[in-house]
Amino acid sequence: RCPMAELGFAHHHAGEERAQREGNAKQMGSAEGNAQCYGEHTETKQFTRAGLGHDVEKPRYDLAPDYEHQRNVIPWLLNVVAQTGSRELFRLGVLAIALGVAFGAAHLFGVSFALGAFFAGMVMSESELSHRAAEESLPLRDAFAVLFFISVGMLFDPMSLVRDPLPLLGTLAIILVGKSVAAFFIVRAFRRPISTALTISASLAQIGEFSFILAGLGVSLNLLPPAGRDLILAGAILSIFLNPVMFIVAERMRPWIEKRSKGEITAGDNSDVEPSISEPEPLPQTLLVGHTIVVGYGQIGAGIAEGLQAQTSPFLVIEDSPKVSASLKDKAIEAITGNASDSEILEAANPSAARNLVIAIPNAFEAGRVTALARAANPEINIVVRACSKAEAQYLHDLGANSVILGEAEIAAAMAKAIGTEIKRKNADTVSEGAPQTGIMGIISDGTTDIMGKKGDDMKHEGVVTG
């Protein structure tokens, strides 16, 4: 999914509409469209169905060796940029790499810019920093997505609902019903639960923006008439709007389908009926009792784990990265692979018998979900969470966290303490014993801090520990 690249399709679509009104659609479709999509810059070529396979396959062989080369270079380059410690530089590097690979693939290998952007995503996914790259580029992605859908909305003609309702309803039925039914039976064929099949079928009851790219290629190759592209565009917009309704319908149909499925299996003598599909077995629960659960094994989580190891205190780690979990198991540290906000994953850590829960992940919403689940499982567990702002600290405290560590306040208090200790040492002979102390000296001497605008005791009372 590359909204920014697909904006090019929307712009191209609008330009083609203008060209049709001017009587130049044929020339654009055969010359400019083919040159843009497959790099036919030297000659104008009329594509046919018989010759399409060879022309489409050609870029794949050209891209294969370059992909093998870049899958090693791009991750190394991302690591170099990440080591600078600058979020802005890392974000700029991600954007430059993505656009650079997309532009290079489009101009060196003759593919469309959209396919080049898709190739850039494949290359960047090889890096261990791919998740961070996705998070850092999220604001840009949202901005381009908004522009993309604005362009798509401008291309949609509402009067098409009145002029040609039957073809549009047929297209919508194929998207909403045809895809959903096919997905349901495919998932059931793999012996997955009915609830899973319904969820997947409802999720696929729409078509995304990538279909616009395929429609644009079809029109440029004379494989799809412009009217067909308009139907795809209208069907995509309407299916996106109706997708939440499909989830509601699937949820209401689930009890009826499950009851009917169980009735058919238990009532008949038909030996050809497949046995009931059972739900996946739950994860094995840890045998630890009175232990500490550490959620997240980043820099903070690793430091906490080292401290617990030094104290020989029993603990386990919940980490969603399979590589990190495997490395922990190699170190004889018990680790559970998965997201702790999943109730099954957290249940495997046995929170009902745990003494402490340390949530070291930066996402406040996931941390809040874990906090609520752990508090429901064990009202007596001691929950310590990190936060990045006062609002997050209050949010986590309201969900049941005993202590919320605010990183900025901790750093400020530690720095103030270091400075105050040095000042106190140098000026010990000048400070009178009974005189009131203010500023940094007052912070250190009376054990309080107003870094967050509150006394330290008040912040501890609210679950915010400042040292």
Integer Cα distance of 126 and 1 in angstroms: 17
Environment class of 290 (CB within 10 Å of its CB; exposed 0-12, middle 13-18, buried 19+): exposed
**36-53, pLDDT tens digit by residue?**
333 333 333 344 434 444
Note the pLDDT of residue 409.
83
pTM above 0.85, yes or no: no
- Report whether 295 contacts 340 (CB < 8 A): yes
Note the pLDDT of residue 282.
62
DSSP assignment of 240-301 equals HHHHHHHHHHHHHHHHHHHHHHHHHHHH---TTSPPPPPPPPPPPPP---S-EEEE--SHHH
Cα–Cα distances (Å) from 145 to 6, 37, 55, in that order, read: 9, 22, 31
Question: Which spans in 129-164 are helix H?
Answer: 130-136, 138-155, 160-163
Domains of the chain: 1-155 (no CATH), 157-263 (no CATH), 292-465 (3.40.50.720)
Nearest partner of 171 among 222, 109, 236, judged by Cα:
236
Integer Cα distance of 102 and 3 in angstroms: 13
Sheet holding 356-359, edge to edge: 335-337, 315-319, 292-295, 356-359, 382-387, 403-406, 464-465
Question: How many Cα atoms within 13 Å fall on the side-chain side of residue 140?
Answer: 17
Nearest partner of 26 among 219, 164, 227, 301, judged by Cα:
219
Note the pLDDT of residue 432.
52
Note the pLDDT of residue 441.
42
Q: Tokens 């019903």 appear where?
A: 177
DSSP state of 382: E
Per-residue model confidence as pLDDT tens for the chain (467 residues): 444 444 344 444 444 444 444 444 333 343 334 433 333 333 333 444 344 444 444 444 444 445 455 567 778 888 888 878 777 888 888 888 888 888 888 888 877 777 787 878 887 777 777 777 777 777 777 787 788 778 777 777 777 778 888 998 999 999 999 999 999 999 999 988 888 899 999 989 888 777 877 887 788 888 888 888 888 888 888 888 898 999 998 888 888 888 887 655 444 444 334 444 445 556 788 999 999 999 999 889 999 999 999 999 999 999 988 888 889 999 999 999 888 988 889 999 999 999 999 999 988 889 999 999 999 999 999 999 999 888 899 999 999 999 999 888 888 888 888 898 888 887 775 655 555 544 444 444 444 444 333 444 444 444 454 33
At 238, which helix (H) or strand (E)?
helix 226-267
Note the pLDDT of residue 12.
44
- Report whether 120 contacts 97 (CB < 8 A): yes
Task: Report CA 289 to chain centroid distance, whole Å.
Answer: 34
Note the pLDDT of residue 195.
86
What are the two backbone dihedrals, phi and then psi, of residue 386, each rounded to the nearest 5 degrees?
Answer: -95, 155
Integer Cα distance of 343 and 351 in angstroms: 11
At 226, which helix (H) or strand (E)?
helix 226-267
**411-451, pLDDT tens digit by residue?**
888 888 889 888 888 777 565 555 554 444 444 444 444 43
